[in-house]
Amino acid sequence: MANVVIVGSQWGDEGKGKVVDIYTEYADQVVRFQGGNNAGHTLVVGDKKTVLHLIPSGILHPGKQCLIGNGVVLDPQVFLQEIDNLKQKGYMQDDAQLVIDGNAHVIMPYHKAIDVARETRSGARKIGTTGRGIGPTYEDKVGRRGIRVADLVNPEAFARKVREFLPEKNFFLEQFLGGTALDEAAIIAEYGGYGRALAKYVGNSSLLINQSIAAGNKILFEGAQGSLLDIDHGTYPYVTSSSTVAGSACIGAGTGPRFLHQVIGISKAYVTRVGEGPFPTELHDAMGQHLREAGNEFGSTTGRPRRCGWFDAVALRYAVRTSGMTGLAITKMDVLNDLATIKLCTAYDYRGQRLEEFPNDLDILRECTPIYEEAEGWQSDLSGATRYRDLPPKAAAYLDKLEEVTGCPVILVSVGPRRDQTIQLKNPFQDGALPSP
Ligand code: IMP
């Protein structure tokens, strides 16, 4: 009876949404534990495409309860819009399917304004954030001046907190960032409306999850972003403001480490990154352009073109280490279909020295150049493969190589956006399918 954590093992956009959608079949509950609507999870069922930013990707399965844990930051407007979209498409017909924890923090309009104004002011030194107010909301959470979902649904508490915090925010926005002050009464009225609309979804996700675990149910913990965007372990300061590694699942969902049994890292068969920051295997040439076009590498949240490069085993081994990954799901294998040769970075060169481990120091990382091994491309269409034996030998050999250089077993391979374009090698929910961490 395994509970499974899914995390990104690169810089986000690895295709976690699709894997969560598939694994939801084996789980009883799905919980998101960090991040906010900076994420964009694209799901394709039949011909229907759904993009989710906040609601767990398990929501497309009727009867599976989806929870937004205390570790998430919630933009109430986006949350309500997402529910409307889902209902219009025929999903989420039962409101009880979705619960948001009262301790989750609310993204306020001043958080978004500060995020955008700060980035503009930083010019060339910007982080390249999604502009969704994520960083400023987590800052206020840690600074103990945040507004939580439980406050949002309590009109007096909400108004009191807006009155208490807004003057400082407006001062900072106007006097330092050169922005425009926000209106207190307008915020209280607008967000009061959101509070009334979402009150029916508010609950105690920690309690529900732990009751469910006690009843013998299986939980899927859904991470957002990727390990290299982690606030502690990522390429700081070019990171997001939450903990994206697997350990974050405990804190952001309100349960203990002994209930996390398997950790599956999602990784593309190559690498992408959006926003600023070092990226040793980035390709600035026609191959990078090919990956971007073949992989449709444009952000599902901001539409920005993603930076593309070869698979980086040094970075991936680091992700395996910081999350204790027990299996890998390799996505977008089909994007490499046409290539005669595929490169994989297995070590870095730093001033003539061979580095096997991902350096902590960003100045060193910036100077690292990849040391590549080459694999033969399979040059055929994988998009119809549903079993391992459908794969051409060279594609299977590439997967073997990925296992060898990362030290982690590949348990799922995705060869296209649809649910049925997936090869499942091992089921992490099944007892004994994978060694316990
Ligand atoms: P923030 O999370 O909006 O503060 O952005 C910080 C960094 O994380 C920027 O480089 C973003 O592009 C990146 N980022 C945030 N969320 C995602 C995601 O879901 N996928 C990929 N990159 C992300």
Dihedral over Cα of 206, 212, 215, 221: its sign: negative
Is 364 part of a structural domain of the chain?
yes
Structural domain count of the chain: 2
- Among protein residues, the one with the nearest Cα to ligand 1's atom 2 is 240
Is 435 part of a structural domain of the chain?
no
Q: Do 308 and 270 touch, CB atoms closer than 8 A?
A: yes
13 is catalytic: yes
Instruction: Give the distance (Å) from ligand 1 centre to CA of residue 135.
Output: 10
Q: Which of 183, 201, 219 is a domain's end point?
A: 201
Give the mean model confidence (pLDDT) for residues 376-390: 93
Specify the 3-state DSSP secondary structure of 413: strand
Is 436 part of a structural domain of the chain?
no
Give the mean model confidence (pLDDT) for residues 58-77: 96
pLDDT surpasses 90 at 31: yes
Give the mean model confidence (pLDDT) for residues 66-95: 96
Task: Specify the CATH number for the domain of residue 189.
Answer: 1.10.300.10
Same domain, 85 and 228: yes
Is 99 part of a structural domain of the chain?
no
Contacts of residue 366, defined as CB under 8 A and 6 or more positions apart, other chains included, come to: 278
Q: What is the pLDDT of residues 343-357, one digit of tens each?
A: 999 999 999 999 999
Specify the 3-state DSSP secondary structure of 292: helix
Is 113 part of a structural domain of the chain?
yes
Q: Which of 201, 221, 236 is a domain's end point?
A: 201
Same domain, 295 and 150: no
Give the mean model confidence (pLDDT) for residues 249-276: 97
Is 423 part of a structural domain of the chain?
yes
Q: Which of 201, 226, 251 is a domain's end point?
A: 201
- Among protein residues, the one with the nearest Cα to ligand 1's atom 16 is 38
Q: What is the pLDDT of residue 310?
A: 98
- How far is Cα 60 from Cα 50, in angstroms, rounded to an integer? 9
Same domain, 358 and 218: yes
How remote is the C-alpha of 186 from its chain's centroid? Answer: 32
Q: What is the pLDDT of residue 436?
A: 66
pLDDT surpasses 70 at 1: no
- Look at residues 437, 1, 432 and name the one whose alpha carbon lies nearest to residue 215: 1
Percentage of residues in the chain with pLDDT exceeding 70? 99
Q: 4 pLDDT band (50/70/90 cuts)?
A: very high
- How far is Cα 56 from Cα 221, in angstroms, rounded to an integer? 9
Runs of H (alpha helix) within 172-270: 184-198, 205-214, 248-253
- Interior angle at CA 297, CA 292 and CA 300, nearest 5: 165
Per the prediction, the chain carries an average pLDDT of 95
Q: What is the pLDDT of residue 434?
A: 83
- Among protein residues, the one with the nearest Cα to ligand 1's atom 8 is 240
Both tokens of 14, joined, read: 């690895």
- The answer to whether the bond into 237 is cis (omega within 30° of 0) is yes
Both tokens of 292, joined, read: 């971007």
- Look at residues 408, 314, 308 and name the one whose alpha carbon lies nearest to residue 360: 314
Same domain, 158 and 208: no
Q: What is the pLDDT of residue 433?
A: 81
Specify the 3-state DSSP secondary structure of 221: strand
Among 57, 107, 130, residue to substitute to test ligand 1 (most atoms within 8 Å of Cβ):
130
Q: What is the pLDDT of residues 98-149, one digit of tens each?
A: 999 999 999 999 999 999 999 999 999 999 999 999 999 999 999 999 999 9
Is 124 part of a structural domain of the chain?
yes
- How far is Cα 121 from Cα 280, in angstroms, rounded to an integer? 27
Same domain, 285 and 413: yes
Q: What is the pLDDT of residue 46?
A: 80
Q: What is the pLDDT of residues 181-201, one digit of tens each?
A: 999 999 999 999 999 999 999
Both tokens of 150, joined, read: 């439980």
Give the mean model confidence (pLDDT) for residues 174-186: 97
Q: What is the pLDDT of residue 305?
A: 94
Q: What is the pLDDT of residue 81?
A: 96
Q: Do 76 and 198 touch, CB atoms closer than 8 A?
A: yes
Among 13, 51, 225, residue to substitute to test ligand 1 (most atoms within 8 Å of Cβ):
225
Instruction: Give the distance (Å) from ligand 1 centre to CA of residue 129.
Output: 6
Task: Specify the CATH number for the domain of residue 58.
Answer: 3.90.170.10
41 is catalytic: yes
Q: Do 205 and 101 touch, CB atoms closer than 8 A?
A: yes
Q: What is the pLDDT of residues 298-321, one digit of tens each?
A: 987 778 899 999 999 999 999 999
Task: Spell out which residues line ligand 1, taking CB within 6 angstroms.
Answer: 11-13, 38-40, 127-130, 132, 134-135, 224-225, 229, 238, 240-241, 274-275
Specify the 3-state DSSP secondary structure of 389: helix
Both tokens of 89, joined, read: 């498409």
- Among protein residues, the one with the nearest Cα to ligand 1's atom 5 is 129
Instruction: Give the distance (Å) from ligand 1 centre to CA of residue 316.
Output: 18
Q: What is the pLDDT of residues 85-101, one digit of tens each?
A: 999 999 999 999 999 99
Is 98 part of a structural domain of the chain?
no
Same domain, 193 and 321: no
- How far is Cα 396 from Cα 102, in angstroms, rounded to an integer? 46
Same domain, 422 and 275: yes
Q: For residue 110, what are the domain limits?
A: 105-201
Q: What is the pLDDT of residue 69?
A: 98
Same domain, 139 and 57: no
Q: 435 pLDDT band (50/70/90 cuts)?
A: confident
Q: 407 pLDDT band (50/70/90 cuts)?
A: very high
Same domain, 190 and 64: no
Q: Do 132 and 152 touch, CB atoms closer than 8 A?
A: no
pLDDT surpasses 60 at 437: no
Same domain, 182 and 227: no
Same domain, 211 and 181: no
Dihedral over Cα of 144, 362, 283, 385: its sign: negative
Exactly one of 28, 41, 115, 233 is catalytic; which is it?
41
Q: 425 pLDDT band (50/70/90 cuts)?
A: very high
Both tokens of 187, joined, read: 């915020």
pLDDT surpasses 90 at 323: yes
Q: Which residue has the higher pLDDT, 39 or 142?
A: 142
The residue assigned the tokens 């960083």 is 135
- How far is Cα 29 from Cα 39, in angstroms, rounded to an integer? 20
Same domain, 159 and 280: no
Q: Which atom of ligand 1 is nearest to the CA of 39?
A: 19
Give the mean model confidence (pLDDT) for residues 240-262: 97
Among 10, 38, 78, 127, residue to substitute to test ligand 1 (most atoms within 8 Å of Cβ):
38
- How far is Cα 156 from Cα 159, in angstroms, rounded to an integer? 5
